[in-house]
């Protein structure tokens, strides 16, 4: 039987981005922002905060890039930030399309 240090689980457990580090738990908890953003897709457009979505989109895109520059490279952090940015960008597009439609009606 392989020892804990050489098994796949042991390598994951002891890695620089494993569950014994913040590099694992920060992205895991940040998925809550993505889930909240997906929940807001059913929210009426007039209740979407443009400032909040702009800040989420900007930080999502900035941290996506940063996650691939830092040591250790944290691809799980890059992935969650990419989805945070995409969710916010989609919400901003909903606001922009609703504004365009209201201008056309007027």
Residue 48 burial by Cβ neighbours in a 10 Å radius (0-12, 13-18, 19+): middle
Question: How many secondary structure helices (H) and strands (E) does the chain include?
Answer: 4, 0
What pTM did the predictor assign?
A: 0.80
Per residue in 16-68, pLDDT (tens digit) is: 878 888 888 888 899 999 999 999 999 999 999 999 999 999 999 999 999 99
């Amino acid at each position: 039987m392989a020892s804990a240090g050489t098994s796949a689980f042991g390598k994951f457990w002891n890695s620089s981005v494993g569950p014994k580090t913040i590099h694992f738990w920060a992205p895991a908890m940040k998925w809550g922002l993505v889930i909240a953003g997906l929940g807001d897709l059913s929210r009426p457009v007039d209740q979407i905060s443009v400032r909040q979505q702009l800040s989420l989109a900007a930080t999502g895109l900035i941290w996506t890039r940063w996650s691939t520059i830092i040591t250790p490279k944290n691809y799980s952090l890059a992935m969650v930030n990419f989805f945070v940015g995409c969710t916010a960008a989609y919400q901003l597009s909903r606001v922009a399309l609703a504004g365009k439609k209201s201008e056309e009606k007027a």
